[in-house]
Amino acid sequence: MIVAEKITGGCQCGAVRYRCESFGRASICHCRMCQKAFGGFYGPLVTAFGLKWMRGEPQFFASSNKVRRGFCGQCGTPLTYDWGGPVEVSIGSLDDPELAPPVIQVMPADKLSFVDGLHALPVRRAGDFDGGEEFVAGLENRQHPDRDTDVWPPERGE
């Protein structure tokens, strides 16, 4: 069990924020429902003990007769997996995802054939293509920062 002094997270837009006391097992789920819920190749989740909503609350979708998934109703960020036991939170929604390295893969029958080779793909950095560095330098990050804030969104000019 991972216990950190302050475990926080939330959605991309900042409408929903949470805290938890400690973590259980972190996993990667390969089931087709997780693939669709995350819009990705798998669903990275960690059991969150003592979960409390600090700003807003998620909306829910019952993805099966036994599971409901929480997400931000404003920006769509996947937040929770609730199967009736301890709720799991999406690792990517944590302010510090490094706190929850996955230790197990589940539902391997649905694992996409190319997932194990992803680490071997070539890497392209912003400087590797024309205009890439300028594009990145001109980005204005409008997502909520990876920390708690008293007010969000900030007033203009802050």
Side-chain half-sphere of 1: how many Cα atoms within 13 Å? 7
Distances (CA, A) of 106 to 1, 30, 59, 79, 92: 19, 6, 25, 19, 18
- 77 CB-near residues (< 8 Å, 6+ apart): 10, 11, 12, 13, 16, 71, 90, 93
Q: How confident is the model at residue 4 (pLDDT cuts 50, 70, 90)?
A: low
Rounded CA Rg of the chain: 17
CATH class of segment(s) 2-116+124-137: mainly beta
pLDDT tens-digit map of 50-71:
999 999 999 999 999 999 999 9
What residues does each domain of the chain span? 2-116+124-137
Specify whether the CB–CB gap between 77 and 93 falls below 8 A.
yes
Give the predicted TM-score (pTM) of the model. Answer: 0.89
Find out whether the peptide bond into 86 is cis, omega within 30 degrees of 0: no
pLDDT tens-digit map of 76-135:
999 999 999 999 999 999 999 999 999 999 999 999 999 999 999 999 888 888 888 889
Residue 38 tokens, joined: 């995350």
Specify whether the CB–CB gap between 15 and 142 falls below 8 A.
no
Specify whether the CB–CB gap between 87 and 80 falls below 8 A.
yes
